[in-house]
Amino acid sequence: MRRVALMEAVSHLTRGLEVISTLPPSSERDANELELCTLLGGALIATRGFAAPEVEQTYNRARVLCRQMGDTPKIFPILFGLMAFYLVRANLPATREVVEQLWQLASSAQDSAMLLVAHRAMATTFHFDGEFVRAQKHEAEGIVLYDPRQHSSLALVYGEHPSVVCQCFAAHDLWYLGYPDRALVSIQNAIALARQLAHPFMLVHALDFAAWLYLYRREVQQTREQAQAYVVLATEHPFFLAHGTVFLGWALVEEGQTTEGIAQMRRGLAAYRATGAQCERPYLLALLAEAYAKVGQPGEGLLVLSEALSEINEGWRYGEAELYRLKGELLLALSADNQAEAETCFQQALEIARRQQARSLELRAAMSLGRLWQRQGKRAEAHELLAPVYHWFTEGFDTADLQEAKALLDALA
């Protein structure tokens, strides 16, 4: 595990558990099984994905052992592993229940490592629920807590490094909140820390989040480069390999290789689902729906988006505003007769983005509605809608969204 030879670790730990199962019951036997299960859970997350059934089975067995032994302090990393499983599976009630236990345990112990992990768990839960301000607060506190002298080996216990993950999610939440340049700084810090820790799984994790961020910023070349950089490293990490396949397909579509790109996106989505993961699937489906719009198949895109919306209504809400905006765009592409329904979608996207304080998504929704009003001759209303959203921003003026917003405002003036 220390050498990050994770496939070999899984093999040895599995064999060790097989041997333990032949031993007569005793407290010593249970303690040894608990130690092996805890290590195995982290190794399984890295090699088979957060949502693999074996992850839940291993951590559930460890939780049973903890209870038999009197709820020892060793339950904390076990609860974290279960949290990661439930979160990626988009099981909201179970995630929130376990996160609350983690927070209570860490707060009671006032242990810096436990608090760092608890902040990571709280931040991620708030992120996927669309509460970006609360998520960013926990990320910032987790980042401040990190002490390399005390916390550099946390990945050995948790299967990941919580400080790297805090930096990664901070980058995404800063983008949602309207700070695209600060988001870049955060993701660069995450990559630098992952390299410093010399932990290949965390480097894949950070590069994956970098690809997501560049995709949010609509920077095609950088998205492709980041995805290519970690796909090579992710052969033992199916969860991130699936992401990379979708991102590379998206880049192909953006560069005009639409047939090949859509096929690759579909392969990536199938691979993502095969890992058991669910939490990011609606947004990944939205990327595919947008690709269909680019090739003149808005009807196909609406079918894909309908699936995405049905899933987001059952689970995490972090990309909800963008899904409604895309639905409006696809309806307009399908028929000019859909203007009323499209406007309703844009208004829904605006309402959700404002409620979530997701300024980047509010800007996109305002542009979509502004363009519709422009076509309808309501130029003054469109300008009045878009201007305050655009002028709120203090950075990121070189990004595609802000450049397009400025051009639209100039056309509406």
Residue 390 has pLDDT above 80, yes or no: yes
Residue 74: inside a domain = yes
Residue type, 358: A
Nearest residue to 78 (alpha-carbon basis) of 133, 131, 40? 40
Nearest residue to 78 (alpha-carbon basis) of 62, 57, 90? 62
Question: How large is the angle between the packed helices 298-312 and 320-334, nearest 10 degrees?
Answer: 160
Residue 133: inside a domain = no
Phi, psi of 262 (to 5 degrees): -65, -40
| Confidence category of residue 152, pLDDT binned at 50, 70, 90 | confident
CB 247 within 8 A of CB 215: yes
The rounded distance, in Å, linking the Cα atoms of 142 and 300 is 42
Mean pLDDT across the chain? 94
Q: What is the pLDDT of residue 232?
A: 92
CB 277 within 8 A of CB 51: yes
Q: What is the pLDDT of residue 230?
A: 93
Residues in the chain: 413
Task: State mean pLDDT over 249-276.
Answer: 96
Classified as helix, coil or strand, 8 is helix
The rounded distance, in Å, linking the Cα atoms of 229 and 243 is 13
Residue 263: inside a domain = yes
Residue 370: inside a domain = no
Decide which of 68, 89, 110 is a domain's last residue: 89
Strands (DSSP E) along 154-231, which ranges?
none
Task: State mean pLDDT over 259-287.
Answer: 96
Residue 76 has pLDDT above 90, yes or no: yes
Residue 290: inside a domain = yes
Task: State mean pLDDT over 381-386.
Answer: 98
Nearest residue to 123 (alpha-carbon basis) of 170, 54, 191, 76? 170
| Confidence category of residue 6, pLDDT binned at 50, 70, 90 | confident
Residue 146 has pLDDT above 70, yes or no: yes
Decide which of 251, 279, 304 is a domain's last residue: 304
Task: State mean pLDDT over 121-132.
Answer: 96
For 66, other C-beta atoms within 10 Å of its C-beta total 21
Task: State mean pLDDT over 337-346.
Answer: 98
Decide which of 279, 304, 329 is a domain's last residue: 304
The angle formed by the CA atoms of residues 98, 103 and 106, to the nearest 5 degrees, is: 125
Nearest residue to 123 (alpha-carbon basis) of 68, 66, 70, 162? 162
Q: What is the pLDDT of residue 71?
A: 67
Q: What is the pLDDT of residue 340?
A: 98
| Confidence category of residue 235, pLDDT binned at 50, 70, 90 | confident
Residue 266: inside a domain = yes
| Confidence category of residue 248, pLDDT binned at 50, 70, 90 | very high
Residue 213: inside a domain = no
Which residues neighbour 265 within 8 Å (Cβ) at sequence distance 6 or greater?
245, 246, 249, 250, 253, 287, 288, 291
Question: For the segment 162-196, what is each residue's pLDDT rounded down to a tens digit?
Answer: 999 999 999 999 999 999 999 999 999 999 999 99
The rounded distance, in Å, linking the Cα atoms of 354 and 7 is 45
Owning domain of residue 10: 1-89
Number of domains in the chain: 2
Residue 18: inside a domain = yes
The rounded distance, in Å, linking the Cα atoms of 63 and 289 is 41
